[in-house]
Structure 1
Amino acid sequence: MALWAVAALLVVLLLLVIVRLPWIGDLGMHAATVERLRHRLLDPGNPLVDENTPSPYYSPWTVFLGVLARVTGLSVWVVLRIGALISLTLLVTGVWRYVRTLSAHRLAPPLALLCVVFLWGTQVFNWSGFIGLNSLALTVAYPSVFALGLAFHFWALLARALKDGPADRWSGWAAFLGLGAVWAVVLLSHQFTGVVATLGALATVVGARAGWWVWPRLGAGVVLGVVVLALWPYYDFFALLRVGGLEAIHRPLYMDLFARFWLVLAGVVALGMRGWRDRRDPLMVFFLLGALVFAAGGLSGHYSWGRALPAALIPAQVAAAVEVAGAARGVLRNMGAVVLAGALAVGAWAQAGAVGYAVGRSALPGAVAAKYRAPWVGYHWITPWVRYGDVVMARTMTARQIPAYGAYTVAPGYPDFFLPDAGRRETAVRTYFAAGTSRDARLGVLRAYGVRWVVQWPSDGGLPAGDRALRRVASGPRGQVLYEVVR
């Protein structure tokens, strides 16, 4: 009962996080994407700048949220909370169903849920697609959580289809075609999680030892999935395979590995035990595939391949839960339970600051409050003046948030490989704020991009506060100022 209570408490904590919806990282991008779809569902254009370009952020998931926003009239922040609730439900139930394909023990699912959230390391690591508690609290409204929750269901359904045999109704052609469509939705919704889902599916097939009957069905499912990917109207999925420039962004994935993930070693030991019993154990194969892709990325300099690391972490975390829950009573089970409980306690303490995203920092004890990292404040304060579709001049970090409220920025705050003039726009922003730029050059930038507003810190540079081309409208947190461009 205690284990079930802890798992339930974890879910309640995450529900409280959704109520507060802390903002950091890419949340502004996803809010802007939903906002564009609300206004122009079939042709939303670029989510960040005033250009008509495709974007990989227009996925089946964000299109659903855009339709929800359009039909209900709810604000984008309410819609994101609804999406986060759906994604969290998918994740929790997905872990449950997947673990049920691996163990019949009643304690395996709640223990696995705790392992995938707490069995990480002692250095907190936040990145979309990585679901340690702190990272999950900050990314619960991201498409990556939806995609990973759906991936767990995908693996569970695939395992069931492979297990039943050719005579069973579930293993018919329709089931595998449906699995192909689900696979495509995961890939379209979050491409990196789609890679993890694919590796997990390969491991499931290898471990199932299904007969010849499965291959035509699997082939049909893959073909349908590829067709869905090819026909998706909002962006060219296969063009992403030619995208470069992601390596510097992902280089940090290969840093501080031991501090970030050393508690997962308990799961690696469990995987070794499973591999000893069965060389085609699906969790063991899954782990090896994920570790191989991750290692190949590090050795070759393709650091974006590091996003496949969850394909090594998840099977290790699940294996730790399944092995401890299903072990026969005796000394070995007791030792395993003690080690895993200790690892979970250490992992939970390392991420204890995430509780602040649910209850606020003021409610935390001093030792826990020291672990809390405040989320972004946001730019609600500009909305009484800045309207949907207005263009705002702002530096990169500010530009990562302003589009969430409907405005555009001159340059995207995130890399945009479908925007042909992204480099020119970034140069224009640097030119405007550079110390040596003339007044005429700055005014030229504002005119060239139809800028109506400037948001800047006192130290940013740009036109001076008293310039006649600017009118001070409002002040924001920590000295930020909103200026209207006077035409």
Structure 2
Amino acid sequence: MSRPVSPQNNTTRRAGRALPQAAAVLVVVLLLLVIVRLPWAGDLGMHAATVERLRHNLLHPGNPLVDADTPSPYYSPWMLVLGVVAKLTGLSVWVVLRFAAVVGLGLLITGVWRYVRTLSAHRAAPALALLSLVFLWGPVLFNWSGFVGLNSLALTVAYPSVFALGLTFHFWAWLTRAMREPEPASWGRWAALGLLWGLILLCHQFTGVVASLGALAMVIAARPGRAVLLRLGAALALGMLLLGLWPYYDFFSLFSAGGNLEAIHKPLYENLAERFGFVLLGVAALGLRLRRDRWDPLVLFFVLGALMFAAGGLSGHYSWGRAMPAALIPAQLAAALEAVAAGRRAVRAGWACVLGVVLAAGAWTQVGTLGYVIPKSALPSVVADKYHTPWVGYHWITPWVKYGDVVMARTTPARQIPAYGPYTVAPGYPDFFLKDEKSRNAAVDRYFAAGTSAAERQGIAREYGVRWVVGPKRLAGPGLQKVTTGPAHQVLFRVVR
């Protein structure tokens, strides 16, 4: 005979559900306000430039950063949609990127909700999962595309990686439900899953790897029969066909691009305890899940992700470190789910308290995110100290520099200037498809070297069709005419032929 539930217990339960839900709503509101600001750092200029090229030429956009006719993996289906939106509406690229951010954030939130619902029916589980995904990291701030800590998400919310991760959570939810059907799901449903898998890989290749590892874990955990495996094989074939037919770049050639990417990804293997130490709570939760079920999909997912991350570090393939979310996400979700897992009430309450303390510590690490929506001067000093000022941008050159002009600039400016329509001599990011990338980088280094003569600089400018130079005032001399001065004493020079 069941015990009657007291009104006090009912109130406690409602409060236990309402608290994480209210906190999750506050996080979402904060991110929506961040989208209004759209703070600039990292790859935002690359994505803005990609939309600009597609706006001007949907079929043959060329290289997004330099004046060269090359394909680019940044020309994904999602960026093509954004390019069409920009072309049809005439909206600025920054408005279009805000639209992309709203869509990506919406997909991520609804995707997390739907996938967590396949793991727990508890009403607080999705909110706890979202909070764990954004706060369960470490005591040292870490930002990287494809990693959804709150501060990282605030800076990358308009990126294709967020859109692809949102699709990934929906993909996992659909796949999990398809695997649980008492009768094999229809061929059409599996075909849609295959196309969605291919779409994720095209939109953001690294997130596609995470999606694939998660899907593999779910398939292993389900131990499907022959009928499901046949449908799964057909879905994979259809997804591969989509990858092969995509006209904007050769997806399969990216497998040989690792050499260009290892150096910039090596930092992913540094300061692991400081950046990800709080995730150990999730690893402990995975251990509890393993004791209950040795075929637990989150445990299998974590193992696959951890193995790939470790293999990258041991072999020197540091770009494999981008698969780390495949270990982080299942651990973060497990930490959240353990607070609502079946078992004694005291155990659940104790776990919830520990989780709350760790989430609070993680939130404090990332509290500087508030600076993107609240003026730094209005923040308490202890919070303001954690705020990192976003990049200023290069809008100050646009009264003179026009779409398609070539600008000589170093790496950091080269990551921003193409967002406004111009090209740079060398790309600000490694470009696997640009065959003369090394010579372009060498030309930029020679141009800005202190001992380079004015005549040699003029020769480099002629070789690459340079019309403008952004650099220090010491460059002033024959062949350059000062136009204006920008932030940090940068000078815009006009190249005089």
TM-score range relative to shorter protein = over 0.9
Corresponding residue of 1:211: 225
Answer yes or no: is 1:379 the counterpart of 2:389.
no
Counterparts of 1:28 and 1:184, CA distance in 2: 26
Is the Cα contact below 8 Å between 2:50 and 2:64 reproduced in 1?
yes
Cα contact 2:179–2:224 (8 A) shared by 1: yes
Structure 1 residue 357: deviation in Å? 1.4
Q: CA deviation at 1:12?
A: 0.2
Q: Which aligned pairs between 1:86-235 and structure 2 lie closer than 5 A?
A: 86-166=103-183, 171-235=185-249
Is 1:58 the counterpart of 2:72? The answer is no
Question: Structure 2 residue aligned with 1:470, among 480, 490, 495?
Answer: 480
Tell me which amino acid in the other structure corresponds to 1:476.
G
Q: Determine if contact 2:306/2:324 at 8 Å carries over to the other structure.
A: yes
Counterpart-to-counterpart distance in 2, 1:269 and 1:434: 53
| Paired residue total | 479
User: Which ranges of structure 1 fall in alignment gaps of 5 or more residues?
Assistant: none
Counterparts of 1:75 and 1:101 in 2: how far apart (Å)?
40
- Per-residue deviation at 1:166? 2.6
Give 1:291-440 correspondences, 5 Å limit.
Answer: 291-440=306-455
Is contact 2:191–2:235 with CA below 8 Å preserved after alignment?
A: yes
1:327-386: CA deviation from partner (whole Å, max 9, x where unpaired) = 435221121011100000000001100111122322311110000111100001111111
Check whether the contact 1:166–1:214 (CA below 8 A) recurs between aligned residues.
Answer: no
Distance 2:378 2:81 in 1: 36
Cα separation, 2, equivalents of 1:434 and 1:415: 21
* SS class of match (1:225): helix
Percent identity of the aligned residues?
67
Unaligned runs of at least 5 residues, structure 2 = 1-17
In structure 1, the partner of 2:3 is: none
| Structure 1 residue matching 2:226: 3-state secondary structure | coil
SS of structure 2 residue aligned to 1:455: strand
SS at match of 1:325: coil
Deviations 1:142-173 (A, max 9, x none): 11111111100000000011111335xxx100
Moved segments of 4+, more than 6 Å: none
How far apart are 1:206 and its partner, in Å? Answer: 1.4
Deviation at 1:438, TM superposition (A): 1.9
Contact 1:391-1:408 within 8 A present in 2 as well: yes
Among 28, 32, 36, the alignment partner of 2:49 is 32
SS in 1 for 2:469: strand
Q: Deviations over 1:98-121 (max 9, x none)?
A: 000000010100000000000010
Determine the structure 2 residue equivalent to 1:275.
290
Write the distance in 2 (CA, Å) between the matches of 1:430 and 1:17: 36
Match of 1:69 in 2: 86
2:11 corresponding residue in structure 1: none
1:56–1:234 contact (8 Å) kept in structure 2: yes
- What's the CA shift for 1:210? 2.6
Counterpart of 2:482 in 1: which secondary structure?
Answer: strand
Amino acid of the residue matched to residue 153 of structure 1? H
The offset of 1:468, in angstroms, is 4.1
The answer as to whether partners of 1:163 and 1:210 remain within 8 angstroms in 2 is no
Q: Does structure 1 conserve the Cα–Cα contact (< 8 Å) formed by 2:454 and 2:478?
A: no
For residue 471 of structure 1, what is the amino acid of its counterpart?
Q
> For 1:358 and 1:204, how far apart are their aligned partners in 2?
39
Pick from 223, 230, 250 the counterpart of residue 236 of structure 1: 250
Q: CA deviation at 1:480?
A: 1.0
Is the 1:469–1:486 Cα contact (8 Å) retained in structure 2?
yes
Match of 2:6 in 1: none
Residue 15 of structure 1 corresponds to 32
Amino acid in the other structure paired with 1:325: V
1:259 aligns with 2:274: yes
Q: Which moved more, 1:241-250 or 1:195-204?
A: 241-250
Q: Distance in 2 between matches of 1:383 and 1:192?
A: 33
TM-score (norm 2): 0.95
8 Å CA contact retained: 2:285, 2:338? yes
> Are the counterparts in 2 of residues 179 and 221 from structure 1 also a CA contact under 8 Å?
yes
Provide the C-alpha distance between the structure 1 equivalents of 2:59 and 2:468, rounded to a whole number of angstroms: 28
The 3-state SS of whatever aligns with 2:404 is coil
Q: Contact between 1:16 and 1:359, CA under 8 Å: does it hold in 2?
A: no
CA distance in 2, matches of 1:255, 1:219: 38
Structure 2 match to 1:480: 490
**Could you tell me whether the CA contact under 8 Å between 1:166 and 1:213 is conserved in 2?**
no
Write the distance in 1 (CA, Å) between the matches of 2:472 and 2:64.
24
Specify the code of the residue in structure 2 equivalent to 1:353.
G
What amino acid sits opposite 1:115 in the alignment? S
Paired residue secondary structure (1:473) = strand
Q: Structure 1's 434 and 296: CA in aligned 2 closer, same or farther, altered over 3 A? A: same
